[in-house]
């Protein structure tokens, strides 16, 4: 298969981890005889330094023409003093321009790494769920007002916004254990009541998927008490922001977790969930697994290459069993050594 992939290394450890993940993609192309082409562009702080704009026009045009976009990370202390332009604006503008409304985060624990989590091993063994967070609506994008003594953030959702993200979640659940948990606060919030009504309506199109509703406060607790219960979880923007950080704590290291931002078309934006980690940038010690697993999501969701995606997951699973590991996982291996080991594992 032919595919054009835009890479946006960005800032901090971004260039190191994207290089690692691109090498994995190149190996996959070799093994399975695909024709992947790569086009690198600027975003974030690196783009501000070069052009004054965190999302240069050239970058956006390239992304709009691509089959998929692979991003490292943006931001860092170097740009913190800028008041009129911030690296993170580049990423927000890109998500908006590509109309990406669903943020997908698989949360998966590895038997060999259970002891790294702050939770008891028997609680997190076998955890394997996908979190779907709505990205375009809610309090983050509603009308804001401010006087000296009052402030408001309007929370707005439309049926269309709820429907499209619900469908994504049902479709994912349909390919998995057919169990979808919708998280809201329908006992208090009107937007949550619309959310619950709408997703219940959508459920009629997916009769094989079992839909359950959970209030966000009890969900925050259940994720720590019984995380293995969940298959696919879907929720609105603000609740999702908070709960996905909680989920990250289940896995043991931020460096392991991938994400995908998807829209109606097949083009998606793939990136690790962690930030630019300026404290370890340029030292060849960043964990590239979150980015490598993002590539696995890219193959699956944007290119439909499911076997290739599974092969990468298997290679990472072998790595967690036999090493080598980076410092965040208790090892002392370099980023480039991890890349080589994963490439070797792809052939096993
Ligand atoms: P952002 O605001 O961009 O989300 P953050 O402040 O949440 O960033 P990160 O950049 O994600 O922070 O880093 C948090 C901590 O985790 C840092 O100590 C960083 O070194 C570490 N870290 C993050 N990603 C990795 C990685 N891939 N490998 C190793 N350590 C990492
Ligand atoms: Mg952060």
Q: Is the residue at 270 inside a domain? A: yes
Residue 77 pLDDT > 90: yes
Do 122 and 242 share a domain, yes or no? yes
Map tokens 């269309």 to a residue.
160
Taking CA atoms only, the protein residue closest to ligand 1 atom 1 is 275
**Percent above pLDDT 90 for the chain:** 95
Residue 277 CB–ligand 1 contact under 6 Å: yes
Same domain as 98, residue 2: yes
pLDDT digits (tens, 9 = 90+) for 289-300: 999 999 999 999
**Is the CB of 255 inside a 6 Å radius of any atom of ligand 1?**
yes
87 lines ligand 1 (CB under 6 A): no
For residue 281, which ligand has an atom nearest its CA?
Answer: 1
On the question of pLDDT at 117 being above 90, the answer is: no
Model confidence pLDDT, tens digit, residues 238-285: 999 999 989 988 988 899 999 999 998 889 999 999 999 999 999 999
Atom of ligand 1 nearest to the CA of 280: 20
Mark out the alpha helices in 147-279 (DSSP H runs).
Answer: 159-174, 190-203, 216-225, 237-251
Ligand 1 binding pocket includes 334 (Cβ within 6 Å): no
Distances 319 to 52, 92, 346 between C-alpha atoms, Å: 40, 33, 10
Domain residue limits at 60:
1-104+255-348
Residues 6+ apart with CB under 8 A from 68: 3, 5, 6, 267, 268, 269, 270, 298, 302, 303
Residues 96 and 124 in one domain: no
Residue 109 lies in a domain: no
Predicted confidence (pLDDT) at residue 1 exceeds the cutoff of 90 = yes
Domain harbouring 162, CATH code:
3.40.718.10
Mean pLDDT, to the nearest integer, of 64-85? 96
In a domain, 286, yes or no: yes
Task: State how many domains the chain has.
Answer: 2
- Record the tokens describing residue 207, joined without a space: 């009769």
Cα of 315 vs centre of ligand 1, distance in Å, is 24
Task: Give me the chain's average pLDDT, please.
Answer: 96
* H/E element, 210: strand 210-215
Residues 173 and 207 in one domain: yes
Q: What residue numbers does the annotated binding site for substrate cover?
A: 95, 105, 133, 217
Ligand 1 pocket member 279 (CB < 6 A): yes
In Å, how far are 17, 62, 124 from 40, measured between CA atoms? 14, 9, 38
pLDDT at 251: 86
Q: Name the one residue in this structure whose structure tokens are 């696995």.
A: 296
Instruction: Give the model confidence (pLDDT) of 197-218 as tens digits.
Output: 999 999 999 999 999 999 999 9
pLDDT exceeds cutoff 90 at 332? yes
Which residues, chain by chain, have CB under 5 Å from ion ligand 2?
275
Model's pTM, two decimal places? 0.95
Residue 97 has which token pair? 């321009």
Report the percent of the chain where pLDDT is more than 70: 100
Cβ within 8 Å of residue 47, ≥6 positions away: 53, 54, 55, 56, 59, 87, 90
Q: Kindly state the tokens that stand for 210.
A: 């079992």
| Residues making up the binding site | 95, 105, 133, 217, 241, 245, 275-287
The answer to whether 225 and 216 are in contact (CB under 8 A) is: no
Instruction: Report, as an integer, the average pLDDT of 25-52.
Output: 98
175 and 55, same structural domain? no
Model confidence at 111, in pLDDT bands (50, 70, 90)? very high
Question: Does the pLDDT at position 180 exceed 90?
Answer: yes
Sign for the pseudo-dihedral over CA of 61, 64, 69, 74: positive
Sequence ranges of the binding site for NAD(+): 275-287
Active-site amino acid positions:
140, 185, 217, 241, 245
């Amino acid at each position: 298969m032919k595919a054009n992939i835009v890479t946006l290394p960005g800032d901090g450890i971004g260039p190191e981890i994207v290089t690692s993940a691109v090498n994995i993609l190149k190996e996959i192309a070799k093994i399975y005889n695909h024709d992947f082409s790569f086009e690198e562009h600027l975003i974030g702080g690196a783009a501000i330094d070069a052009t004054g704009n965190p999302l240069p026009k050239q970058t956006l045009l390239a992304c709009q023409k691509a089959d998929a976009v692979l991003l490292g990370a943006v931001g860092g202390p170097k740009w913190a003093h800028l008041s009129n332009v911030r690296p993170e604006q580049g990423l927000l503008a890109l998500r908006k321009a590509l109309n990406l409304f669903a943020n997908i985060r698989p949360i998966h624990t590895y038997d060999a790494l259970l002891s790294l989590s702050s939770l008891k091993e028997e609680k997190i063994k076998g955890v394997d769920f996908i979190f779907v967070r709505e990205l375009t609506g809610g309090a983050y994008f509603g009308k804001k007002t401010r006087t000296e003594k009052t402030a408001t953030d309007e929370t707005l959702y439309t049926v269309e916004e709820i429907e499209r993200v619900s469908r994504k979640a049902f479709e994912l659940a349909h390919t998995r254990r057919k169990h979808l948990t919708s998280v809201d606060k329908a006992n208090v919030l009107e937007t949550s009541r619309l959310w619950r009504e709408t997703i219940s309506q959508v459920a009629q199109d997916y009769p094989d998927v079992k839909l359950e509703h959970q209030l966000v406060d009890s969900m925050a607790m259940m994720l720590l008490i019984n995380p293995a219960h969940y298959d696919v979880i879907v929720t609105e923007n603000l609740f999702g922001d908070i709960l996905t950080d909680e989920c990250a704590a289940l896995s043991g290291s931020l460096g392991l977790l991938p994400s995908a931002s998807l829209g109606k078309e097949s083009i998606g934006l793939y990136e690790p969930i962690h930030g630019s980690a300026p404290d370890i940038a340029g030292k060849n010690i960043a964990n590239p697994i979150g980015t490598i697993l993002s590539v696995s999501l890219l193959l699956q969701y944007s290119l439909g290459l499911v076997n290739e995606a599974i092969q990468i997951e298997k290679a990472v699973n072998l790595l967690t069993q036999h090493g080598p590991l980076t410092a965040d996982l208790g090892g002392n291996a370099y980023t480039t050594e991890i890349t080589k080991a994963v490439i070797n594992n792809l052939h096993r």
